[in-house]
Amino acid sequence: MTNVTLLFEGEDDHLLPSTSESIIDIDLFIVAGRIIGHSFLHGGPPLYGLSEAVVQMVVQGTADMSSMTVRDVADFDLRGTIKMLDGEAELTGAEVDQINQLALSWDLPPLSSGNRQYLYQKLLKHAVLVRRSRQVKQIRKGLKETNVLPMLKERPDTAEVLFPRAASAVLTAQAILSHVVWPGKDDDSNSESDRDSDSNTDSSPKKDCRAEEFLRRFIETASATSLLQLVQFWTGWNIPTGTMTVKIEAEGLLKASTCFTTLYVPGHFQKYHDFYNHVAYCISTSNSGFGQI
């Protein structure tokens, strides 16, 4: 995959804003802040796995050292150098030189016999936060423009909702099913006028029930990869969110209106095996956009 711009880098629960100057120069993190704010206000997916130190900076404007670890250092070369100072193991001459080169490049004092822990904390803070201060300011500006930042200041506990841990994003069948609105459960989608306006909508209650049963069975038994593909195909996003509506059609292909998070399920399949193969094939195209309106 090419031409992909990564706004955040690192590992789960330790994600940091990218240090790319080209992204910072065009104020792209302000846009990111607006997206995060609007998504929160309209019940959309949150930003999972952000570093706790960055969350503190976004919410409070400051962060304490207790919230930072070497896992927050996204650059593995920098992480390896900084990690040398963690502990009391004797350092080789080459390791001392490597540490000093990094310290001097960030206008920090070289390593001495009495400043090992001090230098460790300074290097860690610089790698995690100082190099990303402009990015955090831009994110805060974007959140302020959506009126979410004032809410975060008044209610810091809402940060857990806005920036949840990565474990909360793990896809399960139950997590998906809790968002699904089946035919007949939503009065508006099941109205006579709605049926009349869509000639492709299924006309057989028996087919409706069979298609619903097949789709539920697919969700309950699918692999983690298939669940991810299904959600991406259905919503255009990799996290279930809001209401995910199911509509049964008499025939045709499985397709989705991602803007309205609606999945159109063909009801003509008689056997689950055939239904499974059809759905698996269609959702495997989710990355290319086939089947999405």
What are 129-147's pLDDT values in tens digits? 999 999 999 999 999 999 9
Return phi, psi of residue 256, to 5°.
-140, 145
pLDDT at 291 over 70: no
Nearest to 16 by CA among 123, 135, 155, 147: 135
- 152: in domain: yes
> How many structural domains are present in the chain?
3
Same domain, 78 and 220: no
Q: Give the C-alpha separation, 208 to 231, whole Å.
A: 21
Same domain, 218 and 244: yes
Q: What is the pTM of this model?
A: 0.68
Same domain, 27 and 143: yes
Same domain, 48 and 118: no
Beta-strand (E) ranges in the chain? Answer: 8-9, 16-17, 180-181, 244-249, 255-257, 262-266
What are 47-93's pLDDT values in tens digits? 999 999 999 999 999 998 888 999 999 999 999 999 999 988 999 99
Query: Is the CB of residue 125 less than 8 Å from the CB of residue 85?
Result: no
- 121: in domain: yes
Nearest to 73 by CA among 28, 123, 143: 123
Q: Give the C-alpha separation, 143 to 255, whole Å.
A: 34
Same domain, 176 and 267: yes
Same domain, 40 and 137: yes
Q: What is the CATH number of the domain that holds 181?
A: 3.30.2410.10
Return phi, psi of residue 264, to 5°.
-100, 115
